[in-house]
Amino acid sequence: MTPPLRTVPLGLSLIPSTPYSVLVLQEGYSRALPANTTWADGTVTRLRGPRFTLVGSGGPWGRQWLLGLLAAHGMAQGDVSHVVCTHGHSDHADNLNLFPGATLLVGFHLSRGEGLYLPHNLGGGAPYPINQGHMEVLPTPGHMAAHTSVLVRATALGTVLVAGDLFEQEQDEAAWQALSEDPAQQEWSHRRALALADVVIPGHGPPFRVLRAEGSPGRGQTGG
């Protein structure tokens, strides 16, 4: 079983560490508007270390904004080694053409260079390591069948999960079911994520901490 836990807002955009620091460049949002419409954009997170990785590239309307964010933090497009888009929705997976030299993972589609597609077994449930022992991509299906999250180990705050739309935001129970392709599968992915992570960075809200009850089982127990 998943250990007893509660969540609280993190209140930070930067988690320093070695070899990977975690920085939320753009905090995602989602706001209901009249006539059943929604105003939204996805979180963009920078993982800085030996393999400089972006998780999410935002919507096409934010192209210049994203370039400005990178420049403001002393980063160039060519510095980016990997871009992971947790799934293929336009608020998370556009602007990939800004990074033609990077290895690109969109959902379960992994490519490099001019259309070279690479093998992996995310669809079979296996993680894809970006930097073995430090950072890996996990299959977290539910919101879409081909949905992933990025796990960063041994930061200053423990294990960080950059979760895409596995979590819309903290305390999102009323939101994610309506947007999920497979709610039962997403519930399983939720439980697994909360068993692994000390910090979750959701797709449309600020980061939050996962706090376990004293004496409960430790991280790494994925639940059933």
What does the alpha-carbon distance between residue 212 and residue 187 come to, in Å, rounded to a whole number?
A: 19
What are 206-217's pLDDT values in tens digits?
999 999 876 444
Mean pLDDT for 2-27 is 90
At 51, give phi and psi (nearest 5°): -125, 90
pTM tops 0.95: no
Q: 3-class DSSP state for residue 122?
A: helix
What value does the mean pLDDT of the chain take?
91
What is the CATH topology of the domain spanning 5-212?
Answer: Metallo-beta-lactamase; Chain A (3.60.15)
pLDDT at 29 over 90: yes
What are 170-183's pLDDT values in tens digits?
987 767 888 899 99
What are 73-104's pLDDT values in tens digits?
989 999 999 999 999 999 999 999 999 999 99
Question: Which residues does 67 contact at the CB level (< 8 Å), separation at least 6?
Answer: 77, 98
Mean pLDDT for 27-48 is 94
Question: Which residues does 172 contact at the CB level (< 8 Å), separation at least 6?
Answer: 202, 205
| Structural domain spans, the chain | 5-212
